[in-house]
Amino acid sequence: MRIAGLLRESVVDGPGVRFVVFGQGCPHRCPECHNPETWDPAGGVRQTPREIMREIRRAPAVVKGLTLSGGEPFQQAAEMAELARRAREKGYHVTTYTGYLYEDLAAKAESDEGIAALLAATDLLVDGPFIAAAKDIALRFRGSANQRLIDLAASRQAGKVVLLPDEATG
Pick from 7, 8, 16, 35: which binds ligand SF4 (CB under 6 A)? 35
Judged by CB, which is closer to ligand SF4: 101, or 154?
101
Q: Does residue 1 bind ligand SF4 (CB under 6 A)?
A: no
Answer yes or no whether residue 44 interacts with ligand SF4 by CB under 6 A: no
56, 89 Cβ separation under 8 angstroms: no
Q: Is 71 in the site for ligand SF4 (CB under 6 A)?
A: yes
Q: How many residues bind ligand SF4 (CB under 6 A)?
A: 13
Q: Does 67 bind ligand SF4 (CB under 6 A)?
A: no
**Cα 128 from Cα 93, distance rounded (Å):** 21
Only segment of 10-18, 30-38, 60-68, 147-155 that touches ligand SF4 (CB under 6 A) = 30-38
Residue type, 132: A
- Give the sheet arrangement for strand 93-97, strand by strand: 45-46, 2-10, 18-23, 65-69, 93-97, 124-127, 148-151
Asked whether 20 and 7 are in contact (CB, 8 A), the reply is yes
**x/- contact string, 84-123, with ligand SF4 (CB under 6 A)?**
---------------x------------------------
* Range list of β-strands (E), the chain: 2-10, 18-23, 45-46, 65-69, 93-97, 124-127, 148-151
Contacts with ligand SF4 by CB under 6 A lie at 26, 28-30, 33, 35, 38, 70-72, 99, 129-130
